[in-house]
Amino acid sequence: MEINGVHACWFILALVAKFGWCNIALNKPTHSSTDYDGKSSSSHAVDGNLDAVRGHSSCFTSSATSPWWMVDLQGNYRITSVSIQRRSDGYEYRLRDLAIVAFREDPQQNPSTATITCTEKTGTLGAMDTLSCDQPVVARFVKIQYLPIFTEILTLCEVQINGDICSRDTTQCTNTAIDIVQGMYIVVESVDKRIANDSTQGDCTNKCYREHKCHGFNFNQDSKTCELVLKTPTQIVSDAGSVCSVMPSCFLLCNGVSVNIC
């Protein structure tokens, strides 16, 4: 049976609905310490290939002093467990004493971002071991590394992460929760903004609240033009005719539960 296009989407959704499991790490961007050789790539750990023979170019391996591997889930998720497949062609004893930690920001870009512990595993892992978080964590980046007491070559043949997508909890938003700045403008590329033809500043505010990708807005008081900013603001400049605001992003709705991440 061939499954492609829309049919594949419905097939996957049906499996998730039936079995209650979805691998949110599949084919997501990855980062790592130095690859061991040409047969190794950090992306091999999330390619869906369960071939656990390292020589078949289906695993990630690093022999760095403190080896690590990390996946960018490209959004905040409520993470409940991480499944790790070890290599099957020898050296199984190496994969042991692991820490699974998570971050809401890229720790490579922001080293001061908070580290959230999912769980720690002492002892050797099984062929495919599912490690449940001590409690669900809300994060975007998931990192696997050895515990400080143990250093060894790290090989991961597949990593699967179970979790639920989170979105902004608009029930926590009120007009008094934001800071309107007069005479300022958020600089944003045209590809990262959307024009909303609202006639009032209040309409612009409400539309941004209800757009989960909106990080802020510019409202021109003369032309009555509303610009929704669809990317995290990095530069704000003076503009006498504008007002701007950066949306609060403290509250996320994850699997029906409101989570304060600030």
Q: pLDDT tens-digit profile of 121-153? A: 999 999 999 999 999 999 999 999 999 877 789
Q: What is the pLDDT of residues 36-78, one digit of tens each?
A: 998 899 999 999 999 999 999 999 999 998 999 999 998 889 9
Eight-class DSSP state of 64? S
131 vs 119: CA distance, rounded Å = 7
Tokens, residue 225: 């033009």
Kindly report the number of other CB atoms within 10 A of residue 203's CB atom. 15
Q: What is the pLDDT of residues 7-46, one digit of tens each?
A: 333 333 333 433 345 799 999 999 999 999 988 999 999 9
254 vs 169: CA distance, rounded Å = 9
pLDDT of residue 208: 81
pLDDT band at 250 (very low <50, low <70, confident <90, very high): low
pLDDT of residue 17: 37
In sequence order, which residues have a C-beta less than 8 Å from that of residue 20 and are 6 or more positions away? none
Collapsed DSSP state (helix, strand, coil) of residue 162: strand
| pTM of the entire predicted model | 0.70
22 vs 4: CA distance, rounded Å = 18
